[in-house]
Amino acid sequence: MHILLTGSTGFIGKNVLQAFLNAGYEVTALVRPETLRTNQPEENPRLHYVSGLFYDPDVLSAIEGHLDAVVHMAAIRGAGKAKKEDYLRVNIEGTRALLDFALSKKIPRFLYLSTVGVLGTIPGELPAAPNHTPAPDGPYHLSKWEGEKRVRQAHDGRLRTLVLRPTITYGPGDTGFIPRMIRFVQKKRLFLPKANVNIHLLSVQRLARLIVQVLALDLFNGGVYHVADRQPVEIHALADLIARYAGGGYRTMPRSFFAWAARFFTLLGRADLTTGVRLLSESWYYDISQTVEDLLYEPGETFAHLKTLLENMGDGHA
């Protein structure tokens, strides 16, 4: 099987790329020129790098050979990372250009990696299900929702699609939510609400395994699926686990403190910090039952995966 892959140099993308190669797939990876210049490409006879923007028609038209599927993971991610027009150009119009390319080349399958954030940073209804009303807050979540709509509209007899909405991922090589939480716990600078908060994370390796499985079993049904670990975890228990392996601790504050902090950062125009405060102080978890049933997904256990990650970090391997 030959896959056209975007986003292969990101945290999730690297894990998915490796899973493809381990499965014996051939991969053509679209990579920005500056990324190729600063990162040593992996050498593998089944891996082919194409230098250029994934939404550039000239770059796409130069791709030759038979392709069995497009796996589209590239995007400008996160709150406050770019201007509104950049999210539009890359995440929305870029997805449209890639769909047009797939149709023109008669590529039969298209997998789009979205985000649970299309239901809002904090979903209005818990557990949040894929059929709940979208409530994208901010240009990133809005752009992913618009991308989703274009992918779903493209699903027909010529191009079969699937949309996966992962929650926040973690694993070896991660530099995001969990590593930041580890650093704050180690320095005893983490503040958590006194009330219980349940959050729903995702092992990046389980996500990569699911994507390989979707391709191997040809599970492109035009649907939208949430992807997360088996169960949400309580955030104090998560911080306790980190402190046990990495040292440090955390402090608890009234919920009103976090509401005030979120308003303050919003006034400063720091959407990234507002998001961070909300993710630590409000519950967010998801219904993955249809993913398990339809895609034969085998979710992982968050604490078991994180224990291994923290043990390896202590050994200098994470």
> What is the structure's pLDDT at 87?
87
> What is the structure's pLDDT at 317?
41
How many distinct structural domains can be found in the chain? 1
CATH number of residue 77's parent domain: 3.40.50.720
In a domain, 317, yes or no: no
In a domain, 272, yes or no: no
The Cα–Cα gap between 96 and 216 comes to 25
In a domain, 165, yes or no: yes
> What is the structure's pLDDT at 80?
57
Low-confidence ranges of the chain (pLDDT < 70): 37, 40-41, 78-82, 314-318
In a domain, 225, yes or no: yes
In a domain, 266, yes or no: no
> What is the structure's pLDDT at 179?
95
Q: What's the pLDDT tens digit per position in 16-58? A: 999 999 999 999 999 988 877 677 667 789 999 999 999 999 9
> What is the structure's pLDDT at 40?
63
In a domain, 85, yes or no: yes
In a domain, 168, yes or no: yes
The Cα–Cα gap between 110 and 161 comes to 5
Peptide bond into 108 cis (omega under 30): no
In a domain, 249, yes or no: no
> What is the structure's pLDDT at 41?
65
> What is the structure's pLDDT at 33?
81
Range of 58's domain? 2-174+200-231+286-300
3-state SS string over the chain? CEEEEECCCCHHHHHHHHHHHHCCCEEEEEECHHHHHHCCCCCCCCEEEEECCCCCHHHHHCCCCCCCEEEECCCCCCCCCCCHHHHHHHHHHHHHHHHHHHHHCCCCEEEEECCHHHHCCCCCCCCECCCCCCCCCCHHHHHHHHHHHHHHHHCCCCCEEEEEEECCEECCCCCCHHHHHHHHHHCCCEEEECCCCEECCEEHHHHHHHHHHHHHHCCCCCCEEEECCCCCEEHHHHHHHHHHHHCCCEEEECHHHHHHHHHHHHHCCCHHHHHHHHHHHCCECECCHHHHHHHCCCCCCHHHHHHHHHHHHHCCCC
Tokens of 195: 């009330």
> What is the structure's pLDDT at 167?
98
